[in-house]
Amino acid sequence: MLTDGDPRLLRVADPVVKDDPDLPLHIDLVAACLMEVRAWLGFGRAIAAPQLGIPRRLIVMDLGAGPVAFVNPEITWRSADMHLVWDDCFSIPRHLSHVERHRSISLRYHDRHFNECVWPRLPEDMAELLQHEIDHLDGILMTQRAAGPGAIAPISERQRLPAPQRTARRITLDGIIRSRGRIESVFLNAPQFDCETLSAALGCHVLLKVETVNPVRSFKGRGASFFVRELAAARPNLTLVAASAGNWGQALSYCCRAEGMPLIVYAAIGASQLKVERMRALGARVRLHGEDFDAAKAEARRFVTSAAADRNGEHLFVEDGLETRITEGHGTIAMEMIEDASRPGTHLDAVVVPLGNGALLNGVARWMKATSPATRSIGVCAHGAPSMRDSWLRGRHSTPILYQSVETIADGIAIRTPISEAVEDMFEVVDDVVQVSDEHIRGAMRLVLRHAGLVLEPSGAVGIAAILAHPAAFRALRIGCILSGGNMTVEEALRVARAQEL
């Protein structure tokens, strides 16, 4: 590690050329140094190659999910809004510097395979970090940017002086990593493949992540397995209570049966009969209440409160979207997608993810932003159930927008009462939320059946529906699409195949 006084730190680094045979070695070397220095000092999120005496325009960042390479990074936009931060640096180990930075930037760079990537409008903490590292590529040290009297302080003041604002997140990378070792194997490593004929029909390159080939026919088994296994070990005499439109209840039923944990599921009176029957067959006590999912959820909460007042055993209401371990379990989908997209030419420009209560989208987006920050995480809502999208668009720390009713064939994402914590989780990791009509959902179900031979329920097809509804936004891009559920009766599937109304 070069430190202040070494003239090599003031040299402008050379661009990395395509097919540079030394690039993989340099990335691995810089990543290994970052991990070693972090272990020694207890902090550090990124490092630039010139700090190691490698005069190349290369930065490696590791937020806790593995190293990410930024090759030839270029700032393409800077916010007019500036702020002062106290900066620290491995190469200036004895001092802190008060520097002025843009609150946000946009970045163009290449990854380790020289795929061109664009990361727009970085959040404040990432913008501060990358501006610091790009300064190293330009031969500029933080002390040269010191602003005002007393702008350079001894490192001993580090704990006293305000640090750059870094967002505290409920959903942790460590939790996602840990969940992978706890989730029952039958829910992991779901098939994923490029569907060439579907891609041709949609005008973009589509990687399908098929989360319907498991005992509960949906992605929900991941988060349920992680949560139930940990809870059963800690509180073996507990009865779980949940509300579900069907898929979450089936996943909990399967996992609770495996752990010998009693389960009560509340569902709407009009819930899918297939899903209700499957929950009961898997051992859950199912109680039907209310006209929709949110009414069933309110009744489930009331029951738990009543049971506690009556001292009628120990009951716990578990809410999908609120419990972090569930969301972290769902984040393993992104781990698998990124591993598949780690080869040359397979970079994902975006992932499109169904958005109901936020558990799937937030888990996937959290991992994506740490491992492939230029990959856009896009949530998909139904036009007739826009509460999560509208609440997110309202802005941080705002009261969620509630609707009196919802109207969509996609019952799995038909949310009228958002979970405020789940909305907050979306900020800085979710790039966009789009809406789709029931007509587009039906069209997507038929397309997937025709081109991939897969039967999807409406909410499981909304990612493809997003591409159908917004073709210009996805044209010629490489899109990861999570097919999240396939719980339909034979009759329903046949009606889709015949292009009739669901």
35: nearest Cα among 51, 21, 25, 46: 46
Q: How confident is the model at residue 313 (pLDDT cuts 50, 70, 90)?
A: confident
Cα pseudo-dihedral 13, 16, 22, 25, rounded to 10: 70
Q: How confident is the model at residue 396 (pLDDT cuts 50, 70, 90)?
A: confident
Residue-wise pLDDT for 58-110, tens only, equals 999 999 999 999 999 999 999 999 999 999 999 998 999 999 999 999 999 99
**pLDDT score for 344:** 62
DSSP structure string for 276-336: HHHHHHTT-EEEE-SSSHHHHHHHHHHHHHHHHHTT-S-EEE--TTTSHHHHHHHTHHHHH
d(CA 300, CA 319): 10
Which among 133, 184, 328, 424 is annotated as catalytic? 133
DSSP structure string for 134-147: HHHHTT--GGGGB-
**pLDDT score for 167:** 65
Q: How confident is the model at residue 51 (pLDDT cuts 50, 70, 90)?
A: very high
**pLDDT score for 186:** 97
Q: Do 71 and 23 form a contact (C-beta atoms < 8 A)? A: yes
Q: Do 363 and 327 form a contact (C-beta atoms < 8 A)? A: yes
Residue-wise pLDDT for 116-170, tens only, equals 999 999 999 999 999 999 999 999 999 999 977 889 999 888 777 766 556 678 9
Q: How confident is the model at residue 54 (pLDDT cuts 50, 70, 90)?
A: very high
Is the overall model pTM greater than 0.75, yes or no? yes
**pLDDT score for 341:** 64
Residue-wise pLDDT for 207-217, tens only, equals 999 999 999 99
In order of their start, the domains of the chain are 7-157 (3.90.45.10), 173-216+330-497 (3.40.50.1100), 220-324 (3.40.50.1100)
Residue-wise pLDDT for 439-472, tens only, equals 999 999 999 999 999 999 999 999 999 999 999 9
Q: How confident is the model at residue 397 (pLDDT cuts 50, 70, 90)?
A: confident
Q: Residue 103: CA atoms inside 13 Å, Cβ hemisphere, count?
A: 6
Reply yes or no on whether the pLDDT at 278 is more than 80. Answer: yes
For the ranges 29-33, 197-201, 291-295, which has the lowest average pLDDT? 291-295
Q: How confident is the model at residue 310 (pLDDT cuts 50, 70, 90)?
A: confident
Mean pLDDT of 235-256: 93
Mean pLDDT of 311-324: 90
**pLDDT score for 500:** 54
Give the amino acid at 468. Answer: L
**pLDDT score for 259:** 95
Reply yes or no on whether the pLDDT at 346 is more than 80. Answer: no
Phi, psi of 248 (to 5 degrees): -65, -40
428 a catalytic residue: no
